[in-house]
Amino acid sequence: MLQSALLAPGHADLVTHVTYDFYGERLATCSADQKIQIFRKTPENTWDRETGWKAHDAPILHLSFAHPVHGSLLASSSHDRSVRIWEEPTGRERDGRWIERAVLTGAKGSVKQVEFGTADAGSEPRVASISTDSYLRIYTSADPSLSDWTLLQPIYIPSLPQPGSSDETPVDSSASTSSNELANGGWGLSWCKERWWGSVIASFAGISPIVKILSIPQDSSSSPTSLIFLNPPNNSSQAPLTSISWAPSCGRAYHLIASGSRDGTVRIWRLEPPGEKLRTDYNDLDGDAGSAGGAWKGECVADFGKGGARIGMVDWNATGTTLTTTDDEGIVRIYKPTYARSWKLLGQMSAEEPTHEESNGH
């Protein structure tokens, strides 16, 4: 695969995350140098640095752009145990750094990932984060200035009740993260991209290889509900997870979720939601809400890569039809399903310069 562009040097240390905005016209990067850089695509398909600023007091780990329906917002998470909400300046301030609207605290460990929720016109923006204390935290804001954010119930992922259980979801736990988990564990989350089922999110924490899917209530008066736990097949890797991504459904009757593991395993799940009548927007005139069945079903449809380098990221394209992975060897791989329902490697690329022999076709 050919390199199409190279970003100008903007960081003084390791780059930890790169993300596009909704339209793919802007690119945000963060680094261990505690800074965020914003690049904008030009008509010549090059990327010009737009702005950059010191955003945290420790290395930054993850970034997430909000959907444009909520404005030009960016969330960042860091080893300093905080999530920060940034808004693009307008008017006279447009040439300056982005404005810090809120600092969300409460985590008792490094905040490994942050992600804005699904866009829904007329609803309040939501942002989820997960930290090394294994708590999933959902924040929402009804403040037009975005300076006031409310924390919904913090969710301790390791103690979530089994789907269908009558036990309440634990919102507090005295358990602490062990040194083994901090060294070998992983923490991640990904929102369901389709809003018809309400706020649904996939998450994992610690050294467990299990992906847990749960439904988040609209406010703190109700508890989150476990929908389904995705356990790896018996003959598959049990290594801790490192990354997760929920694919856009684009009209499919099922969902796809991809996960990456510490031992290089990439796993793809096919997730089938319950019947049409259990959608949050369904107006059942007969009042028969449960006739279609309420159980989510999951099946592992692909499992490959075991024994390779640690997976750093898995991510889908805009239609959920191709999967991209990165690993600790610096290799980006792209996969696509075949008619036989297997997943084929389309190509791979590396950030390293090709050798002289390779560049000459030898």
Task: List pLDDT tens digits, range 185-202.
Answer: 999 999 998 877 788 999
Q: What is the pTM of this model?
A: 0.87
Q: Does residue 121 share a domain with residue 30?
A: yes
The conformational region for residue 331 under phi > 0 = left, psi -120 to 50 = alpha, else beta, is beta
Residue 103 sits in a domain whose CATH number is 2.130.10.10
- The verdict on residue 176 lying in a domain is no
DSSP lists the bridge partners of residue 265 as none
Q: Does residue 327 share a domain with residue 228?
A: yes
Quick: pLDDT tens for 256-295.
Answer: 999 999 999 999 999 998 875 445 444 443 433 333 457 8
Residue 83, domain extent: 12-156
Q: Does residue 271 share a domain with residue 331?
A: yes
Structural domains of the chain, count: 2
Instruction: Please tell me which residue, 70 or 170, carries the higher pLDDT value.
Output: 70
pLDDT at 270: 95
Quick: pLDDT tens for 346-361.
Answer: 999 987 655 544 444 4
The conformational region for residue 361 under phi > 0 = left, psi -120 to 50 = alpha, else beta, is left
What SS3 string covers 52-92?
A: EEECCCCCEEEEEECCHHHCCEEEEEECCCCEEEEECCCHH
CA dist 1 → 30, 125, 176, 332, 354 (Å): 25, 38, 45, 10, 11
**What's the distance, CA 212 to chain centroid?**
14
- The verdict on residue 202 lying in a domain is yes
- The verdict on residue 281 lying in a domain is no
Nearest to 15 by CA among 51, 53, 50, 62: 62
Q: How far apart are CA 359 and CA 249, in angstroms?
A: 39
Q: Does residue 112 share a domain with residue 190?
A: no
Q: What is the torsion angle, in degrees rounded to the nearest 10, for the CA atoms of residue 85, residue 90, residue 96 and residue 99?
A: -20
- 68 neighbors 49 (Cβ within 8 angstroms): no
Domain end call among 111, 137, 156 = 156
Q: Does residue 191 share a domain with residue 143?
A: no
Q: Does residue 133 share a domain with residue 68?
A: yes
